[in-house]
Homo-oligomer: A and B are copies of this chain.
Amino acid sequence: MKTDIDIKVTDGGICAARGFKANGTYCGIKTPSIDNQNPDIKHKNDICLFVSDVVCNAAAVYTKNKVKGAPIIVTKSNLEKSGNKAIAVIANSKNANTCNSDGVEKAQEMCRLVSQELGIPQEQVIVASTGVIGQVLPIEPIRKAVPILAGGLCYKKNLEAATAIMTTDTVKKEYAVEFELDGCVCHIGGMAKGSGMIHPNMATTLNFITTDCAISSNLLQKALSEITEVTYNCLSIDGDTSTNDMVSLMANGLAGNDEISSEGESFDIFKQALYEVMANLTRMLAKDGEGATKLLECICSGAPNKNTAIKIAKSVVCSTLFKAAIFGEDANWGRILCAIGYTDADFDISKVSVDIKSNKGIISVCKNCEGIEFSEEEASTVLSDDEIYILIHLNQGNETATAWGCDLTYDYVKINGDYRT
């Protein structure tokens, strides 16, 4: 993936790609009764719908948790039935529709409502839910919302959708790029929600990506799975893998390029653009981790193989102790070494060096697995920034990987001490 192409950042999130319309609204999934009493209160959106003008090839990656949200089961089954074709996505926050006896039925009903309203096959609808586990999903508010959502679909309402999937997120997360293929301008755009129950070894969080690039279902799935490994799966907020995580990718081909149907230069360009979108959404998710005040980006280089680089980088961003030290702006590099040391991978620890970097400077803290004297004053300056880079040099090969995380703060504890109420 070293193709040097021109990828430009653009606006529009999931509506950046041609032919995708979106909408979002508040329907009162959590407290429908309150909504009825006070119709004037402005609530955060809790449901969204987005639709392609034409049928898309679709790909998805799902959580590896054994407890799977009902929407995961239904989406997977739908895409199997439709031969990986999809037109619309419906997603809600405030309720995960998981561990409920009527969960699958309700998730199917959400697809049916969309199918009926838009006149499309039910199995071409993707459904997703995020929020509290084990509370029955009220279907009435959704039944009322679907016609409203469909009626207001628009090529510019990506933001209405992006805010609807937020739970404890403090900012909406959208990213989009454009690039050229066969003289045609292609777009890939996406939206994501975080920000707790996030940990590698899965398809992390809810992520929806759209593109107008023409590409076969097989290669779409291949690209999505590959890029998920080095982006979302290299992200950890708290080591908990959610039951409802999903990334979906829909390609409607409206850009007009020749369909990518075999690996080669065009596929590499597509993957590079997809990486840009997914890596940037990953970074946004890390930075907005529950209670986070600092983004942690750990880059492990000089590794004997890619997998070792990934494992070590992840191990450091997952270390609770190191995350707490970074919150305290304490250059406690012993905890970085400790986390490298308990990584389950085969490498020579004695060659490891570590630098800590931010936009305010860089300090070398460890060489050949031994401490280096550094100025505590300089260290404080470096760590006072809100984006901290941990640079690990294994000095035993040429592979590199990046993992993303955030600091552990009082607010994480506060947010999660009382989430349900």
Contact = CB atoms under 8 A, between A and B. Distances in A.
A420 interface: yes
Given A334-B133, A342-B65, A418-B330, A319 B240 contact: yes
Interface string A408-421: 11101111111111
Q: How many copies does the complex hold?
A: 2
Given A240-B319, A320-B320, A66 B366 contact: no
A67 interface: yes
A98 interface: yes
Interface stretch (A108-116, A184-192, A321-329): A321-329
Contacts of A199: 342
Dominant SS among interface residues on chain A: loop
Nearest to A415: B324
A349 to B, nearest CB: 4
Interface string A388-419: 00000000000000000000111011111111
A201 B342 CA distance: 9
A421 B330 contact: yes
A297 interface: no
Contact of A324 (B318, B339, B413): B413
A243 interface: yes
A64 B349 CA distance: 13
B67 A369 contact: yes
A243 B369 CA distance: 13
A132 interface: yes
Given A238-B320, A330-B419, A340 B197 contact: no
Contacts of A328: 416-419
Contacts of A201: 342
B325 A64 contact: no
Contacts of A243: 334, 337-338, 341
A269 to B, nearest CB: 35
A339 to B, nearest CB: 7
Q: Which size bracket describes the interface of A in this complex?
A: 35 or more
A420 B383 CA distance: 15
A134 interface: yes
Contacts of A341: 65-68, 241, 243
Interface in A229-247: 238-243
A9 to B, nearest CB: 33
A318 B196 CA distance: 15
A338 B410 contact: no
Contacts of A409: 413
A96 B65 CA distance: 38
Contacts of A330: 417-421
B324 A99 contact: no
Interface in A34-70: 64-68
Contact of A320 (B68, B134, B239): B239
A100 interface: yes
Interface in A326-372: 327-330, 332-335, 337-343, 347, 349, 366, 369-371
A99 B366 contact: yes
B318 A239 contact: yes
A257 interface: no
Interface in A272-306: none
A327 B240 contact: no
14 contacts: A66-B341, A67-B338, A98-B334, A101-B370, A132-B334, A133-B335, A134-B334, A134-B366, A134-B370, A135-B371, A239-B239, A320-B320, A328-B417, A408-B413
